[in-house]
Chains A and B, each alone.
Chain A
């Protein structure tokens, strides 16, 4: 099966700085890579995703990059704000359906005002 590793497990940044979270995956057939944000007391929520036919995707202050050759993908958050503080999960999938999502272990991001 797929194995997704995520680093770092915790990350603290000053407000306004950038944050980068990295994930690697093992199955070269994986072709869909979402990122979920989990705020305190809430369930994870999809914030951005990328498919294997795309190298980079941006949505305002959030971007995701994918390197298929190296089998890694990263989440980039620019101009961080306190409300970005949360746990972030990456995931990988090679087939449609949420039952085929393999999640990373999560990164707790703290943005220091």
Chain B
């Protein structure tokens, strides 16, 4: 089983809909991250959390929100999806002060 699991793997949604992307991990890491990947733009940080009570904005947080329900779970919400949020979304974890990120398999989101 994967250490970092994302659901769903693929999703097509309509403009204006609210959508939630889920991430769970079995690595026991305190830190969790949400990234967005677009062709030609690489990986950009949306939000990150260092523990259950900690939420921080990343480079491109507008239009997104997150919740950290437990150490192992970190959810990303698009409150009102728009077409330019069509992208590949990755959840990642990290341990303590370690800089390495452990990525999930990604969620391909299409907003039509």
Chain B contributes a number of interface residues (CB within 8 A of A) equal to 24
Task: Tell yes or no: B105 within 8 A of A by CB.
Answer: yes
Chain A contributes a number of interface residues (CB within 8 A of B) equal to 23
Tell whether A97 pairs with B90 under 8 Å between CB atoms, given A43-B103, A43-B106, A46-B100: no
Tell whether A34 pairs with B104 under 8 Å between CB atoms, given A44-B90, A89-B42, A99-B33: no
**A41, A42, A104: which contacts B42 (Cβ < 8 A)?**
A104
Assess the B99–A32 pair: CB atoms within 8 A.
yes
**A9, A49, A97, A103: which contacts B43 (Cβ < 8 A)?**
A103
Task: Tell yes or no: B8 within 8 A of A by CB.
Answer: no
Which residues of B (24-62) have their CB < 8 Å from a CB of A?
31, 33, 40-45, 48, 56, 58
Residues of B within 8 A of A (CB): 4, 31, 33, 40-45, 48, 56, 58, 90, 92, 94, 97-101, 103-106
- Output the residue of A43, A100, A106 with the most chain B CB within 10 A: A43
